[in-house]
Amino acid sequence: MIFGYARSSTGSQQITMEAQEAKLKAYCAYKDLKLDGIFKDAAQTSKRPFGNRPEGSKLEAYIKSGDCEAVVIAKLDRAFRNTKECLISIDNWRKKGVQVHILDINVDTTTVYGRVFLIMVAAFAEMERGLISERTSAALKHKAAAGGLVNHPNSVKYGKVAVNVKWDEDGSVLYCDIEDNPTEQAVIKKVLELRGKGLGYGTIAKHVTEAGFTNRLGNDFGRSTIKSIILRNS
């Protein structure tokens, strides 16, 4: 059986996934290879080993069982996280009689020259990822030193919103800027105004809810949430 493999770094990279699928199907049609299926790992970071990904592990099972004769991969960095994993995996697959077609580097792992070429390409790919990581790290340090905000969206407090979110290629958040959330700022203003009139947490929660406001989960405000807002903004 012949299988394709595709991976996207984040759930929003649907176009990337579709592009990989199109390339896999076109290549197999051109080479007159019967593609029995495509294993698609959506929103999977490249930092996770191939065999530890949901679909990657299923493909590994086919390879180990001897039911797979070839694997077609659109891009080298979509499958393996580093040179070592790439070479070990492909060598293990080759011992099972599995041919590997990697489209972006046009490599044929059935020949000695092909395997040597793969070693070189994999090493340069890993070096490129390392250089990108170093440049990104340097840029973030410069941004922080210049007074720019370096944050993660999950750390945004009530009343604020994450904008200009920067993602790296494996789906991790590099940084984001933080701005005021107009709706939540209106809630904070209302809460502090009512607190200034001497109202208790529970009463304030009732007033805010009756005014049509909800928390981030879309639920009514509770006493503890109101207390938290007051303590953070007093």
Active-site residues: which are they? 9
DSSP 12: T
Residue that the structure tokens 């009689």 belong to? 97
Determine the Cα–Cα distance for residues 220 and 225; give it in Å rounded to an integer. 10
Cross-sheet strand order for the sheet of 70-73: 35-41, 2-7, 70-73, 99-102, 107-108
What angle do helix axes 182-196 and 223-233 make, rounded to 10 degrees? 90
> Cα–Cα distance between 43 and 53 in angstroms, integer?
10
Amino acid present at 46:
S
Measured in whole angstroms, the distance separating CA 15 from the mean position of its chain's CA atoms is 14
Task: Report DSSP letters for 43-60, one per residue.
Answer: T--TTS-GGGSHHHHHHH
DSSP of 71-133, one letter per residue? Answer: EEES-HHHH-SSHHHHHHHHHHHHHTT-EEEETTTTEETTSHHHHHHHHHHHHHHHHHHHHHH
State the DSSP code for 220: P
